[in-house]
Structure 1
Amino acid sequence: MKRLWPDSLYGRLVIILVAGMLAAQVLTSSIWYEVRHGQVLEIPTRLLATRLADLLLLDRRDPKQAVALMEALQAPDFQLLDAPPNPPPTAVGDADRNREELLREVVRERTGETPSLRLLGLELLDPHGQPATLPVLFGTTPSSGRFLVELQLPSGRTLYIQATEQQGWTSSSPLLLLFDYILRIYLLRIFVVVLIALLAVRLALRPLKQMAAAAEALGRDIHRPALRLDGPQEVRQAAQAFNAMQQRLVDGMAERTRFFAAVSHDLRTPITRLRLRTELLNDEAIRQRFRDDLQHMEEMVAASLDFVRSGELEEARERVDVGALLQALQADFDDLGVEVRVSGQARAIAVHPGGLRRCLQNLLDNAMHHGSGPIDIDVDDSREQLCIQIGDRGPGIAQALLDQVMEPFHRQDPSRSDGNGRYGLGLSIARGIASAHGGTLELSARPGGGLLATLQLPRSTVTS
């Protein structure tokens, strides 16, 4: 049963609407039964009304001749009774009262006067004279209507007439009738209701889909535009709460950054005092160790603050020429004696310029300190995303540790002691910047040896 129940709210609402429609259709099928029942009895009712009208006209002209004719008409399908049958017939239902009105209407049209008659009993019979069941309504064999009528003649005599009139033949087969009923009443209606339900549910759920997309985008860009406050009241309230939550997150992250910046600023004062006191030491070896430790502390504070700010790029987005940026980085590393080879071209893209530069700088620093030989940069640009791969020929990283090395302050081995990698923050900062742009940063083993860092920036998110 769970397999038939859709996982999406969209599918569940459609199934509920269609199932509700089918249930309502089944419950209202009695209406069709009554209509079909009346159609089958219409011809027998009109035939009987014609007979009754002839009796009334004859009795109005010559009562004695009318009595003789009625006695001559006695037959199994037309009987005159002196009194109502005992026991009395089953009471006529409200639906059969329409047959009584039809009798009066046809008699009035033929005689010019409204007759005094009552329909005391009415049964629909199958070809064998038994009470008809549902298949008879779909059948081609003739059915009959057995009437019990109380009629008052113009001469004053009251007659009780029990007559059986046949429906006649129909050219339609039962299968065609059944197919027509199912096609028009069920299949066509189901198709229309499903179509309307799909459109209506899609329109109703569109604000929820937008909110889900906004929640997913919020994880990539905390500064994304707020949701529009439109749609149904419940959706507007949810969007308002979502916007308030986003603003609280932005304020909380800004407060965290300000707090960390204040702590970093305050730490620099005692570090400066320690530097001054270090210079008063007489032993040069001890003095140099103090200098190294203080330098290490200051760099760690700066790197930590840089990591905190990596996911909060406050500068405005600008269209940046990626090719020119990579060439500038290539020139910087050439000055350091490191060969950087760039292949591929990219169109301009809207990014935070300083953030993207810092991200690529950290990746190149990581490749320089832990690799050997030239660094290769491959650029692949498409309509959907910009992909930049930076590969080195170093010892690489074990597959099981690829995710761990991008965690803050994680150092795989003592060799990570230079540059940004010395505190295990370089890759973490790069990943934070990629996430802030709505992209991803992944590490993998490079074919032929070494490490491959893949930066992907979706243009649908980051382009202006």
Structure 2
Amino acid sequence: MKFNRLLQRIKPNSLLARMLLLLLLAIALAQGASSFIWFYQLRQSESEGLNATSRNLALSLASTVTFFESLPSEYRHIVLNQLRKMGGTRFFVSLNREYIKINSIPDSYHKNLVIQTVSDVLHRELNRSTKIDVDFSLPDQLHVLKNDILLQDLPSSWASHSLQIKPLNPPILVTQIELESGEWIYLAALLPAPYMNLDDSLLPKGRVMFITLMTVFLLVFTFILVRRQTRPLRRLAKAASRLTIDLFQAPLVEEGSDEIRKATRAFNTMQSKLKRYIEDREQLFRSISHDLKTPITRLRLRAELLDDDNVIDAFNRDLDELEIMAKGALQTVKDTDIHENLTDINIMSHLKYCIEPYLDKVSVFGETNSPYRGKPLAIKRCIANLIENGIKYGDKIEIYLLDDDNELCLLFVDHGPGIPEAQLSEVFNPYVRLNKAKSGSGLGLGIARNIAHAHGGNICLQNLPQGGLEVKLRLPHIK
């Protein structure tokens, strides 16, 4: 089970998968080339040995045939019976009145080589144009004496010592030579070791097993090595993908090869610089907001000393606008840069909390399949801002949840007038308010989108044909 999960984690385009595939290809090419050379040399060596063995066997067959030919016809059977009683000879020999049909074994390179060599030697040694037939047959299919008698029908003392070797039962070389009209000499013999079985396989089982074991060992060792070397690289990639969400994550441990150590060190340095930049920016905005309060208050006091009420009102309006802008800038920074640790979030609980003040105006459809990993307060603020905007400008909204392995998507559909197409992108800018009659600062959508961006997602707006606005919040699952 653990091995199957490990295999499922090997992605086709990963470095580990490519390394294993490249190694497998290299092993296949190397083993193919070496096996071809080895097989060619082995084939040459075996052919030379088999050829020499076949010539010696053929010379023995020719001597046996010459011996029986030198005997008078009436003595041949007598001598043959005496030889059988004495335990036989190297060959099974019989004198037949008919040609025995042989059930030949399938053709192979070694079989054809033996038959050709034996036939050539017999024709040369016997030095006459007699009919010579050479073939191979399996022991259980070998016909002897007559076409209706099998080898296994004979007494075991006739052929068991010379033709049958159990449990191997190698093929038997059968030679039939016509001595004279109506009389055939029948000789059957086994090839000597190691050519007894006429083994003609491309690769022996032992070599196939050796190649397989060596390939498996190499792949396993390479898998362990590459996986161990790429583990820091995977951690670096994961930390880089989480950087936009969790800038304040712990620095990575510098481990692995020199190249990966250098990349990790550069990443840690970049993260440290980004943290200082964000902290300096926050400090700057807080300082500006704090420092602006004193001159704004001072200007309000001085405005009260003026005699013209119209001028006083104008001063106060400008000061109110300036104060709202300062507070809005600080709010944007605070609401966007939320220093939280990533944790598993129950989106349904967040929704329930956000819609509690508007139960009669919000409907929720669908549910999440699993917890979403992100910053809880930031996600809650993002969802709350979108719900408040939908209620404010669309009176009622429906929320649809779509969740799969890659992405969590929330659709907020309201029943308001929508937004002019030319201003769909402008509403995310700070202080942009399309309906001046409604209260607000014009920061809600911008803050919500910044939070979505910080989680690697986005917010898209779309006017619906039947009226109303669809706000799509897309949050990819962090892996």
Q: TM-score, normalised by structure 2?
A: 0.55
The equivalent of 1:40 in structure 2 is: 47
- What is the identity, as a one-letter code, of the residue corresponding to 1:355? A
| TM-fit CA distance, 1:294 | 1.4
Alpha-carbon spacing, 1:23–1:249, altered in 2? closer, same or farther (3 Å) = same
| TM-fit CA distance, 1:207 | 3.3
Q: Deviations over 1:248-268 (max 9, x none)?
A: 212211111111221222222
Counterpart pick for 1:392 among 402, 410, 414: 414
Counterpart pick for 1:30 among 32, 37, 41: 37
Counterpart pick for 2:319 among 268, 280, 294: 294
- Bigger CA drift: 227-236 or 265-274? 227-236
| TM-fit CA distance, 1:241 | 2.8
Structure 1 residue 455 corresponds to structure 2 residue 478: no
- Bigger CA drift: 413-422 or 233-242? 413-422
Alpha-carbon spacing, 1:223–1:30, altered in 2? closer, same or farther (3 Å) = same
Alpha-carbon spacing, 1:312–1:30, altered in 2? closer, same or farther (3 Å) = same
The equivalent of 1:114 in structure 2 is: none
Does the 8 Å contact 2:355/2:387 carry over to 1?
Answer: no
- What is the identity, as a one-letter code, of the residue corresponding to 1:376? E
The equivalent of 2:263 in structure 1 is: 238
Alpha-carbon spacing, 1:194–1:281, altered in 2? closer, same or farther (3 Å) = farther
| TM-fit CA distance, 1:309 | 3.3
The equivalent of 1:141 in structure 2 is: 113
Cα distance in 2, alignment partners of residues 190 and 446 from structure 1:
64
Map of 1:19-418 to 2, 5 A cutoff? 19-25=25-31, 28=34, 29-42=36-49, 140-142=112-114, 177-178=201-202, 184=208, 188=212, 192=216, 195-196=219-220, 201-315=226-340, 326=351, 329-330=354-355, 332=357, 340-343=361-364, 352-369=375-392, 371-378=393-400, 387-397=409-419, 402=424, 404-405=425-426, 407-409=428-430, 411=432, 414-415=434-435
Cα distance in 1, alignment partners of residues 304 and 216 from structure 2:
88
- What is the identity, as a one-letter code, of the residue corresponding to 2:395? G
Alpha-carbon spacing, 1:284–1:170, altered in 2? closer, same or farther (3 Å) = farther
| TM-fit CA distance, 1:231 | 3.9
Alpha-carbon spacing, 1:406–1:310, altered in 2? closer, same or farther (3 Å) = farther
| TM-fit CA distance, 1:313 | 0.8
Cα distance in 1, alignment partners of residues 209 and 355 from structure 2:
73
Does the 8 Å contact 2:386/2:412 carry over to 1?
Answer: yes
| TM-fit CA distance, 1:430 | 0.8
Cα distance in 2, alignment partners of residues 367 and 8 from structure 1:
44
Alpha-carbon spacing, 1:140–1:201, altered in 2? closer, same or farther (3 Å) = farther
Q: Deviations over 1:34-74 (max 9, x none)?
A: 34433333456789999xxxxxxxxxxxxxxxxxxxxxxxx
SS of the counterpart of 2:452?
A: helix
| TM-fit CA distance, 1:453 | 2.3
| TM-fit CA distance, 1:184 | 3.5
Does the 8 Å contact 1:281/1:287 carry over to 2?
Answer: yes
SS of the counterpart of 1:220?
A: coil
Counterpart pick for 1:433 among 451, 464, 468: 451
Does the 8 Å contact 1:14/1:194 carry over to 2?
Answer: no
List runs of 5+ in structure 2 lacking aligned partners. 1-11, 58-107, 118-191
Cα distance in 2, alignment partners of residues 186 and 417 from structure 1:
84
SS of the counterpart of 2:337?
A: coil
Cα distance in 1, alignment partners of residues 112 and 335 from structure 2:
82
SS of the counterpart of 2:279?
A: helix
Does the 8 Å contact 1:389/1:454 carry over to 2?
Answer: yes
Q: Deviations over 1:418-457 (max 9, x none)?
A: 55553xx321211222344555434334463212223355
The equivalent of 2:462 in structure 1 is: 444
Q: Deviations over 1:190-209 (max 9, x none)?
A: 97489545665455434323
Does the 8 Å contact 2:245/2:374 carry over to 1?
Answer: no
Alpha-carbon spacing, 1:279–1:49, altered in 2? closer, same or farther (3 Å) = farther
Q: CA RMSD in A?
A: 4.7
List runs of 5+ in structure 1 lacking aligned partners. 1-5, 51-135, 145-165
SS of the counterpart of 1:415?
A: coil
SS of the counterpart of 1:177?
A: coil
Percent of aligned pairs sharing the same letter = 29
- What is the identity, as a one-letter code, of the residue corresponding to 1:415? N
Cα distance in 1, alignment partners of residues 391 and 463 from structure 2:
16
- What is the identity, as a one-letter code, of the residue corresponding to 1:290? F
Cα distance in 2, alignment partners of residues 444 and 349 from structure 1:
25
| TM-fit CA distance, 1:17 | 2.5
Q: Deviations over 1:186-238 (max 9, x none)?
A: 99589748954566545543432332232122123323344344444443443
Cα distance in 1, alignment partners of residues 410 and 266 from structure 2:
37
Cα distance in 1, alignment partners of residues 447 and 352 from structure 2:
22
Does the 8 Å contact 2:418/2:468 carry over to 1?
Answer: yes
